[in-house]
Structure 1
Amino acid sequence: MILVFRHFFYKNYVGLSLWPFIFLKNVSLKEDSVLINHEKIHLRQQQELLIFPFYILYLLEWLLRAVWYMDSYRAYQNISFEREAYVNEDQMDYLSKRKCFSFIKYLYR
Structure 2
Amino acid sequence: MVLVIRQFFPKDYVGLCLWPFIILREKHLLNDQILINHERIHLQQQWELGILPFYVWYFIEWLWKCLLYGDRYLAYQNISFEREAYANEDNLLYPAQRKRFSFLQYCFKK
TM over 0.5: yes
**Structure 1 vs Structure 2 CA RMSD:** 0.7
Letter of the 1:104 counterpart: L
User: What is the aligned residue count?
Assistant: 109
Question: Which runs of structure 2 are paired with 1:1-109 in the superposition (5 Å)?
Answer: 1-109=1-109
Unpaired runs of 5+ residues, structure 1, are none
Unpaired runs of 5+ residues, structure 2, are none
Q: Structure 1 segments of 4 or more deviating over 4 A?
A: none
Secondary structure, aligned partner of 2:44: helix
Secondary structure, aligned partner of 1:12: coil
1:39 Cα deviation (Å)? Answer: 0.2
**Following the alignment from structure 2 to structure 1, what is the Cα–Cα distance between the partners of residues 92 and 19?**
20
- Counting aligned pairs with the same residue, the percent is 59
CA deviations on 1:16-59 (whole Å, 9 max, x unpaired) are 00000000001000000000000000000000011110000000
Give the TM-score normalised by structure 1.
Answer: 0.97
Give the TM-score normalised by structure 2.
Answer: 0.97
**Following the alignment from structure 1 to structure 2, what is the Cα–Cα distance between the partners of residues 10 and 76?**
15
